[in-house]
């Protein structure tokens, strides 16, 4: 780790071997002209213990070694940007190419990650959930329908699906219509089961997670501004209800009850008579304390977890990320999911991939007390399989999600997949870059204390451009080694 904004090229054994073994050869053929000091290279040479290396084998290693040094020099120039200077000692950058660290500028420094916190949340979920896992919302009753009538209450049981919504709400989102779980489909299935009358209430049950809807440490206007909805295991339309004349959404004070009311409305539209009103399972006067009955009337499943992860990463969906964190807590403890149990599961996952410390409070990165390091972010991402659900789920530079407008028409377009992050005075970018020679670069940049988030966005773009250009070094012909 470095301090005070000073960077270093990490003592990667592969770099030492390349420069040490070929330093004298590089000096003799003029590599110094592109940035390697011939004297330093000569000093690095050791007496060979085996056959002398041949010129035929030297060029590629020299080319990569020079490229690594040039990349580090270029990244140093980016981090030395005058507008970034007051923030550098509060920020970090870590770059790994083909498994070896190439650049470290404060990579072990705890920083506020903003939405790159979703990297840790989604990676933890993928570590606990089997491929193809789906969130299931169920409708239950105490007895099967007789002649179309269910005697007693109908239960709508939340399974943590963060994309459960009605068709009219989906239209307001401008994306994800193909992966949203339609509440109408569930109502249709109740009708298909032969139900025409319910002699009781529709009860919303969200007890898979606790009843804490938001964090006291969040900014007070997050819910009002639509940054995140109230969190519960039975979430319909992101737990927003009333829409004002201006189109502004209002967070539900009783998500389970409001979900039950929405479902009762859909049933009524389909000719099902409901004699009672909706009820939630919270602590209010309509609280339900008994367990949901066992008879399954109908169910609806979400898209596979891989697509849910993609929704969270591509569109930086805060509500879905917070629900996923509580789901992680539920899976880890087999009790009602909480922010505390989910955060503990995230820290446990990080400990399996990195020696770096984290301080996690939420799953989306909205909380300004979250702290991670660039090393932790790059270590966690390095632990994900190439082209796996995590990497494939990230926004693509210049094409999709939160990166769709960045670096269009640039060589980096389509070659960088990364999670963005933005809060007041914070800008971050963490992900993968396909380099010019086909290497896999993993990088994490987090800028804190910024005078403008635009500065952080600009630096993130510059970093991405340097990575896709790697190795920016003379080719074999120019080195005279062909």
Query: Tens digit of pLDDT for each residue in 141-153?
Result: 999 999 999 999 9
CA-nearest of 248, 249, 247 to 239 is 249
More confident residue, 1 or 275: 275
Nearest-angstrom CA–CA distance, 321 and 326: 9
Burial class (CB in 10 A: 0-12, 13-18, 19+), 247: exposed
CB 25 within 8 A of CB 479: no
Identify the pLDDT of residue 158: 97
Q: Is 215 helix (H, G, I), strand (E, B) or coil?
A: coil
* pLDDT surpassing 80 at residue 258: yes
Angle formed at CA 416 by CA 473 and CA 104, multiple of 5 degrees: 60
From residue 404, give the alpha-carbon distance in Å to each of 32, 258, 408, 430: 40, 35, 8, 15
Nearest-angstrom CA–CA distance, 349 and 125: 9
Q: What is the mean pLDDT of residues 427-452?
A: 97
Identify the pLDDT of residue 62: 78
CA-nearest of 75, 119, 98, 79 to 377 is 119
pLDDT digits (tens, 9 = 90+) for 360-397: 999 999 999 999 999 999 999 999 999 999 999 999 99
Identify the pLDDT of residue 2: 45
Q: Is 337 helix (H, G, I), strand (E, B) or coil?
A: strand
Query: How would you classify the pairing of strands 426-434 and 154-157?
Result: unpaired
Q: What is the mean pLDDT of residues 116-132?
A: 98
Nearest-angstrom CA–CA distance, 237 and 130: 26
pLDDT digits (tens, 9 = 90+) for 285-314: 566 778 889 999 999 999 999 999 999 999
Average confidence score pLDDT of the chain = 87
Nearest-angstrom CA–CA distance, 60 and 62: 5
Distance, C-alpha 424 to centroid of its chain: 19
* pLDDT surpassing 50 at residue 337: yes
Burial class (CB in 10 A: 0-12, 13-18, 19+), 316: buried
Out of 15-19, 123-127, 320-324, pick the least confident. 15-19
* pLDDT surpassing 70 at residue 211: yes
CB atoms within 10 A of CB 377: 33
Q: pLDDT band for position 9 (50/70/90)? A: low
Structure tokens given for 454:
């635009």
* pLDDT surpassing 70 at residue 45: no
CB 132 within 8 A of CB 305: yes
Q: What is the mean pLDDT of residues 14-23?
A: 43
Q: What is the mean pLDDT of residues 440-466?
A: 98
How close are the terminal C-alpha atoms of the chain, in Å?
39
Nearest-angstrom CA–CA distance, 417 and 403: 9
Number of alpha carbons in the 13 Å side-chain half-sphere of residue 445: 29
- pTM beyond cutoff 0.85: yes
* pLDDT surpassing 50 at residue 479: yes
Angle formed at CA 472 by CA 466 and CA 478, multiple of 5 degrees: 165
Out of 97-111, 213-227, 256-270, 430-444, pick the least confident. 213-227
Structure tokens given for 192:
């298909």
Structure tokens given for 39:
């004297």
Identify the pLDDT of residue 29: 36
* pLDDT surpassing 50 at residue 59: yes
pLDDT digits (tens, 9 = 90+) for 69-111: 999 999 999 999 999 999 999 999 999 999 999 999 999 999 9
Q: Where are the alpha helices (DSSP H) in 412-482?
A: 453-468, 476-479
Out of 51-55, 147-151, 165-169, 332-336, pick the least confident. 51-55
- In percent, the amount of the chain with pLDDT more than 70 equals 82
């Amino acid at each position: 780790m470095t301090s005070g904004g000073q960077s270093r090229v990490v003592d990667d054994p592969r770099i030492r071997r390349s420069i040490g073994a070929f330093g004298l050869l590089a000096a003799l053929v003029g590599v110094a002209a592109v940035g390697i000091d011939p004297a330093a290279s000569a000093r690095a040479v050791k007496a060979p213990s085996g056959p002398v290396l041949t010129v035929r084998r030297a060029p590629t290693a020299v080319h990569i070694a020079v490229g690594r040094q040039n990349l580090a020099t270029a990244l140093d120039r980016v981090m030395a940007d005058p507008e970034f200077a007051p923030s550098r000692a509060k920020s970090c950058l870590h770059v790994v190419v083909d498994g070896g660290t190439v650049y470290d500028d404060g990579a072990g420094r705890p920083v506020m990650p903003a939405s790159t916190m979703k990297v840790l949340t989604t990676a933890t979920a993928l570590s606990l959930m089997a491929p193809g896992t789906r969130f299931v919302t169920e409708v239950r009753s105490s007895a099967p329908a007789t002649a179309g009538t269910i005697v007693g209450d109908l239960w709508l049981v939340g399974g943590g699906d963060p994309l459960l919504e009605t068709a009219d709400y989906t239209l307001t989102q401008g994306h994800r219509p193909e992966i949203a779980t339609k509440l109408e489909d569930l109502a249709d299935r109740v009708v298909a089961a032969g139900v025409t009358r319910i002699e009781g209430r529709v009860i919303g049950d969200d007890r898979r997670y606790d009843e804490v809807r938001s964090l006291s440490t969040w900014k007070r206007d997050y819910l009002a501004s639509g940054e995140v909805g109230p969190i519960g295991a039975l979430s319909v339309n992101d737990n927003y209800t009333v829409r004002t004349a201006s189109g502004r959404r209002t967070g539900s004070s009783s998500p389970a009850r409001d979900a039950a009311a929405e479902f009762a409305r859909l049933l009524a539209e389909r000719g099902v008579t409901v004699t009672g009103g909706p009820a939630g399972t919270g602590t209010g006067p309509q609280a339900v304390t008994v367990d949901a009955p066992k008879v399954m009337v109908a169910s609806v499943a979400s898209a596979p977890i891989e697509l849910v992860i993609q929704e969270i990463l591509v569109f930086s969906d805060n509500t879905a990320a917070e629900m996923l964190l509580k789901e992680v807590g539920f899976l880890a403890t087999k009790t009602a999911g909480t922010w505390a149990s989910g955060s503990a599961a995230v820290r446990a996952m990080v400990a399996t991939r990195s020696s770096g410390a984290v301080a996690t409070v939420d799953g989306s990165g909205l909380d300004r007390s979250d702290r991670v390091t660039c090393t932790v972010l790059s270590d966690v991402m390095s632990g994900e399989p190439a082209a796996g659900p995590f990497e494939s789920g990230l926004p693509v530079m210049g094409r999709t999600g939160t990166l769709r407008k960045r670096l269009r028409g640039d060589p980096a377009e389509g070659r960088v997949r990364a999670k963005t992050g933005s809060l007041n005075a914070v800008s971050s970018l963490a992900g993968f870059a396909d380099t010019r020679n086909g290497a896999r670069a993993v990088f994490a940049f987090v800028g804190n204390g910024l005078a403008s988030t635009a500065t952080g966005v600009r630096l993130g773009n510059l970093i991405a451009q340097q990575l896709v250009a790697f190795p920016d070094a003379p080719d074999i012909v120019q080195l005279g080694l062909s």
